[in-house]
Amino acid sequence: MTVEELLCYGKKFIHKTNAEMLLASLLNVNTLELLLMLDKIVDKEIVDNYKEKVMLIKNNMPIQYVIGNVNFYGNVFKVNKNVLIPRFETEELVENTIDYIKKYFNYPIGIIDLGCGSGCIGLSLKKKLDNVSVTLLDISNDALDVARENAQCLECDVNYLLSDMWKNVHNKFDIIISNPPYIRNDEEIEDIVKNNEPHLALYGGLDGLDLYRKIRKDLLIHVKDKFMLALEIGDLQKEDVVKLFSDIENVKIITKKDLSNRDRMVFIFRNIDI
């Protein structure tokens, strides 16, 4: 079969964009290059692989899991069913965190990514910042295995810690960053998310705030005198999350909206002149 014939096959079952992304991935080209090689004959092994993966997507498996990777903040990260699929909104958390670090902190600095999953947040910071030490923490050993593989592919020297939030943490950090589970246990979400992505990384208790409470409980034990905590939040959680951290002495809190104008980020600073 030719590239064009395979694309026609794929588009009968799945969205055009996914059909093109999938075949481009299997042929190791980008989607623009794919459209310049429509007459190319595709090896039977790839044809069979493509058809099999088309059916997986048709049956509601996320294309990121089918392909096995996702582009996040300019780098390719391996993902599988053991980790949450990185979202564009989280790139905004990383971008703002980098800006604040450059503005308010002197190197070297220590960073911990709480609930790191694939490692996309902590590894993105490591790639973009000089003279930083990064620790990737997760409660899931399977997730840490994915993070280790991503760190190796990106040639990042980082630390790993298996822990339920602060339980096994013994160091103090300048920067704490986290995209914790924040979906309420009874909240309706898309079937493609609910049926595929790890619930451990999605649900945050009856009100979605359990993990924020865990972070706040022992936060001051594990931070330096001057620190920043960067959090991604659900779009209706701003007031509750701000309230959780507003009792910290000498604290200043900034909230930010994402590009869709939803409240999605909270930044907590101590002993920093904002």
Write a three-state SS string for 191-204. Answer: HHHHCCCCHHHCEC
In sequence order, what E strands does 84-243 have? 109-114, 132-138, 159-162, 173-178, 223-232
- Distances in Å between the Cα of 82 and the Cα atoms of 18, 105, 144 are 22, 34, 9
The Cα–Cα gap between 249 and 219 comes to: 13
Contact 80, 201 (CB under 8 A): no
Residue-level pLDDT at 188:
85
Q: Which domains are present in the chain?
A: 3-59 (no CATH), 81-270 (3.40.50.150)
Residue-level pLDDT at 254:
98
Residues in the chain, total = 274
Question: Which amino acid, residue 83?
Answer: V
The Cα–Cα gap between 128 and 259 comes to: 22
According to DSSP, the residues that pair with 229 across neighbouring strands are 176, 268
Neighbours of 150 (CB within 10 A): 27
Three-state SS string over 45-68 comes to HHHHHHHHHHHHHHCCCCHHHHHC
Mean pLDDT by 10 residues, the chain (274 residues): 96 96 95 92 96 96 96 96 94 98 96 98 97 97 98 98 96 97 87 86 90 96 97 96 96 96 97 92
Instruction: Count Cα neighbours of 216 within 13 Å in the Cβ-side half-sphere.
Output: 16
Rg value, the chain, Cα: 21
